[in-house]
Structure formats: C-alpha cells, structure tokens
Amino acid sequence: MIERIAKLLNIHAQAVSRVIELFESGATIPFIARYRKEASGGLNEVDLMAIKDEWEKQQEIEKRQAFILEKIEEQGKLTDELAKKIKNCFELHLLEDLYLPYKKKRKTRADKAREFGLAPLSELLLAQKDFDLDAIVEPLLSEEVLDEEDALEGARDIIAERINQDETARATVRQHYQKRARFKAEVVAGKEEEAQKYKNYFELDRPLKQLQAHQILAVLRAEKEGLLKVQLAPNEDYVLNDLCGQFIRRSCPDRWAEQLDMAIEDAYKRLMKPSISNEFVKQAKAQADLASIQIFADNLRQLLLASPLGNKRMMAIDPGYASGCKLVCLSATGELLEDTVIYPTPPRNRKFQATDTVLDLIEKHRIEAIAIGNGTAGRETEQFIRELPFEGIAPTIFLVNESGASIYSASEIARQEFPDKDITVRGAVSIGRRLMDPLAELVKIDPKSIGVGQYQHDVDQKQLQNKLGAVVESCVNAVGVDLNTASEYLLTYVSGLGPALARNIVDYRRSKGAFKSRQELRSVKRLGEKAFEQAAGFLRIRKGIHPLDNTGVHPEAYPIVEQMAKDLNASIADLIADKSLRKKIQLKDYVKGEIGLPSLHDIMKELEKPGRDPRPPRQVFQFADVHQIEDLKEGMKLPGIVTNITAFGAFVDLGIKENGLLHKSQMSHERVDDPARFVKLGQELEVTIVGLELGRKRIQLSIIE
C-alpha cells in the first residue's frame, strides 16, 4: 500500500510510511506539518491531507477486495487466477467488473433462458461455425420456447449478459466514454419558463471533458429539479463497431453474425450503457464536487485568516430600517458592556436622538472603533455615523461582512453566551467580534452559512464537512490560540483537543483561574499525554511563568532552547530580546532526536517574534458615494472588496445591495484558468463597470486597464 500511495502522489515512500505511522499514533495534520518535519520530509498540510485521503481510500479498496474474495469463495468459484486478479486490482470500478459475474442479483432474462435449456445454443452461436438450427432447436421447444425465434432470442440474452460481464468489452466501452462521451441536456417540455435560470443549458451538447465543475453541477441540479433531461454517451455507432470487431470473426457465417450483432447491440444498449453512463456521471459529479469543495475551502481559508483589528474597545451596529439599528458596546476582549436600539434610518428618522445616544456611549466606553454590518441599511447607517460631530480623535469606522451573523445569533452557542439577550443583540455582538478577530468569531458558525462557496448544497456533504473542518483546524493552529481567553468553540479546533477537552479546559479556567504555564494543562480532566503533545505547541500563554509559553516552540523543545541560553551564559528572555545573541547560535550543534535543522529554524523564527500573529493588520476601507444600482453607469470606476471567488470569476461588493461579477475574462489580458490566482477574498480592488442590466440586477466588472 505504501508504494502505491507514494507512486500515486509522487511522494517518497519513506515519507509516506512515516506519515502513516504518525496518523496511526493519533497525530494530527497541523502537528505533523509543524512539529514533525524531519519525519515527514517537510511535507506541507496539502501533501499530508493527500496522503491521509489516499490512505483511507486504499483501506476501503482492501476491505472491498477481502469482501469480494470471501463471497466468491463461498460460491466455490474462486480460482487462483481470479484471486490474483482481485488482489492486484486497486480501482473500485474494475473490482466491481471482476465481481459482476458472481454478484447475487435478481433473475435476469439470461437466467430464464438458461433454465429453458438455451445455453448450448448460445455456445454454438459464439463458436461462429455453421450448424443445423432446426436440429438444435426442436428438442428445446416447450411452452416457454414456442419456436425458432424464441430460441434465438433466449440465446441472444445469454450472449448479451456474457458480453456485459466481459472485462475487455467493458474496458472498450469505458475507453469510448473516457475519450468521446458527450454531455447533452435539453429543457423538459412545458418547463421553459420555470427553467429560465438554466437557459444556457437548454441545448447543451459538449464533450464531457470540456465541461467545468460549476456547469456539471448546474446541469445535474436542473435534472434533479425536473427541469432538464440529461444524457451522457459516446457515439453509439463507433462503440458498436468496436464491440462487433471484438466478438465477431470474419469467418463467422452471415446468419450467425446477424444474431451476434443483435446480441452485442442489446448488451450495449440495455446492460452496459445505463451502468457505465451512470458510472461516468457519478465520476464527473465526484470530480466537480472536489473542484467546488476546493474553491469553498480556499475561500474559507482566506476569510478565516482575514486581517484582525485586534483588541479594541468596540461599538458594533446591526443596521435596520423599521426595527431600528441594534447597537452594542464591547470591551477590548469582546465582552458585552451595553446594548440599545437607535433609529437614524427611515421610516422613523430619529437622527437627533440617535446622535446623542451614539456620542454618549462613545465617551462612556472610550470607543476606539465602530463596526457596522454591511446588510440592509448598512450604507445609510455608515453615512450617518461618518457625519457625526466627534470630539477629539474619532473612532475608526468599518463596514463588516455580516454573512452568517443571523445564523450565529439563533444558534445554541449564542443562546449559551447570551441567554438573556434577543437575537438582534447577539447578531450585533458577532459583527463587532468579527472585526476584532474574524477567526475566533467565525469558528462559531457553520462554514456553509458564511456564503463563500459554490453549489455547496449540491456537493457531497460528508466530503464538504470534512474538508471545511480541516481548513478551520488548519487556520486555528496556524494562528495559535490564547489559552486564557479562547472560547470553548475556538479551543475545539486546536490540534488534539475536540469538544470534550475544550469544555474541560474552560471549566478548569473557571474553577482555578488563568493558566500560568503550559505544563498546567496536564491537570485538566482527561487531558492525557497524547493530547498534550498534539495541542501544547498551538496554545499560547501571555505573561506566563515560562517565556516560551507565548511562542510556537513546543514544550518538547524547551530543553534545547534552555541549552542554547546556557551555552551563551544568558537567559531565554535574553535570547528573545537580543538578536546579536541569537546570531551566535550554531544550529547544527543542537540537532537531537526528532528535532533537526528544519525544526530548529522554526524555533529561531519564534524567538525572533514571540507570540506573533501571521495575519496582516486590518486596513481602513471606504466605498464610493453610491447607494443603489441605479447610481451606477458604464465606465464608472469604483473601489470594491472581493466577497466570493468561483471557478468562473469573483463577486465584488461595491457598497450597494447587489454584488458585481468580475468574470475571469475581465481579470487579465492573459487566459485565466484559475481566478484565485488573480484575486483573493477580501482583496480591495478598483473596478470598472463594463456592463449593466438593471432589470436583472446584474453588474459586469473589469480590472483590465
């Protein structure tokens, strides 16, 4: 198995073997990538995930091999040659081909023909030599086989089934599908109006290999909704021609060649085409799922690693019209201090009262920043806030993407945090905290609700959940977590923890107070040595007993750093503070056990910037003075923020209700295959409006000069 995985992924077999050993011991991907570089050969998280996925896939294949061998053995039909074939087959669809003749199934037309004694006739036809049909058929006549045509039909059924179960024949058909299958779709009669959003696919007829993931998912969704009829098949004449060439010899008498020709056509149309078409549709869907899930995962990673504003005293506003704007004040650590409602927008327009309330609260809580949700009434509320007569240094104002805030506010997590507050207050708190630290707040929301995916409801939900969970885990551990302030939900994603241990850590904090050292983690209920090993390096303690507790240096490496300091007659604090001391260290002198030069270089980076946050700081951004789509004109240049990236382009927030589409053809003079190479989620752009459809609320954008 190791060699197969190594060959498939083009990764050295020794590295694959060591990584799988680490997985088997309970190690996580973030832990291996960060603290076991020597064992893995420095593989990154993408490579480690690929090894894990392929390892699990190969285990499933081996289970299926064992099952098939057992079932055929039970039938007494397992030969040495067949067993060898099964053991050496590592593709599931080919394994199923080998199992097909032995698979228990409902009684087929061929089974009935055999019961009627027609198997010898089928063998004579396959022998392709002349024989006396009347002499063969006469003894076979019965109530079920009335005449010669009945006999030939039954024989053809037996031949068709044999061809369907023939490995070579199925490989021939698959080759045609692989190279020449065309994906066809047409609108269901009478559904033209209902299917308008799929209009581009009403007369689809393209090679399968030319279709992009989002097109396949769109067509299959339309088929599921009963709006399109879909077919996938290669040229039928070419397939039948190859199958006939495979089974009919030139010396075959014409009358028997005609019978075999009919059997081959029946085998393909009735038996092979439906199953292999279904197989290739599933395969295309699976590949489209992977592509779409990857886009979602890439977008989610960028969103989670978005720039944090940091610990600032915050006012957060969830805008609205008739129901008013929900306003909360938060401490620098995100605790709710006060909440109220103001009505600066229509229909109430109580701007004077709202002005007094906002200015009083800013002074009372010494507010440093104001977060405003970018949903309904967001721009009007932003304009109201920007026009306030601030005294002294005005708070910095930000529009915050509020996707998913309503999901959080109605969740069990929010009810536990704020049992006495309604959902509007919880939503405003989430908006403010999201500005402070997007990662810490967004982990509380189901990633599928954040709105950065493509066809996320159509893809394999288990795969999507696993992939997005891995992304969240990766981001949390890449940034690191403050052990004394992190929420239970953030701690859940720390390597080696999970929900139960995260809850136990929070309970320990409540009963014992703040952690003073990483070693104190060992006192947490049910947190054993393996969990400590996996988690400790990703947990930070500010102003802890040990200076390395606020770094990414793993406790297992503390003795090495302590030895470095001792050899220089200095303390660890001196090493962290003095660059000239660190320059004197010869890393090769400290290579020991599992800690080699790659890990030592990581240690030096941590000593250089202890407790550093890898995310860039949040920058101030302001939209242009446009508030609705009617304010736009073709040729207008506007600032915007990328809110979603898909396979065909990116959506850009222009500060109005509708997002504009930046199609990949408008990103560069070069051909753009992957929009994510040209734009990033949250990126600030200057875009030009190149198309407007006011009726359909569509805006086409360009960044090409």
Number of domains within the chain: 3
Residue 451 has pLDDT above 80, yes or no: no
* Residue 3 CB contacts under 8 Å (≥ 6 apart), including other chains: 13
pLDDT tens digits, 460-511: 989 998 999 999 999 999 999 999 999 999 999 999 999 999 999 999 999 9
* Residue 202 CB contacts under 8 Å (≥ 6 apart), including other chains: 185, 186, 187, 192, 195, 228
Residue 293 lies in a domain: yes
Residue 472 lies in a domain: no
Structure token digits, residue 231 = 């077919």
Residue 547 lies in a domain: no
Domain final residue pick, 277, 298, 319: 298
Domain final residue pick, 248, 277, 298: 298
Q: Containing H/E element for 94?
A: helix 92-99
- Both 50 and 161 in a single domain? no
- pTM (2 decimals)? 0.83
- Both 287 and 197 in a single domain? yes
Helices 254-266 and 148-164 sit at what angle, rounded to 10 degrees? 60
Residue 259 lies in a domain: yes
pLDDT tens digits, 376-391: 899 999 999 999 999 8
Residue 197 belongs to domain with CATH number: 1.10.3500.10
Residue 222 lies in a domain: yes
Structure token digits, residue 481 = 């977590």
Domain final residue pick, 51, 74, 97: 74
Residue 34 belongs to domain with CATH number: 1.10.10.650
Q: Is residue 55 within 8 Å of residue 20, measured between CB atoms? A: yes
Residue 592 has pLDDT above 90, yes or no: no
The rounded distance, in Å, linking the Cα atoms of 664 and 670 is 10
Residue 666 belongs to domain with CATH number: 2.40.50.140
- Both 166 and 63 in a single domain? no
pLDDT tens digits, 83-116: 999 999 998 888 988 998 888 778 899 999 999 9
Q: What single-letter DSSP state applies at residue 603?
A: H
| Dihedral sign, Cα of residue 268, residue 274, residue 279, residue 280 | positive
Q: Containing H/E element for 652?
A: strand 649-653
Residue 125 lies in a domain: no
Query: Number of helices (H) and strands (E), helices first, in the chain?
Result: 30, 15
Residue 223 lies in a domain: yes
- Both 68 and 162 in a single domain? no
- Both 168 and 294 in a single domain? yes
Structure token digits, residue 622 = 């302001």
Residue 667 lies in a domain: yes
pLDDT of residue 450: 77
pLDDT of residue 148: 93
Segments forming the whole domain that contains residue 696: 629-702
Q: Model confidence at 618, in pLDDT bands (50, 70, 90)? A: confident
Q: What is the mean pLDDT of residues 194-220?
A: 91
- Both 181 and 272 in a single domain? yes
The rounded distance, in Å, linking the Cα atoms of 351 and 119 is 91
- Both 160 and 250 in a single domain? yes
- Both 183 and 292 in a single domain? yes
Residue 626 identity: V
pLDDT of residue 409: 87
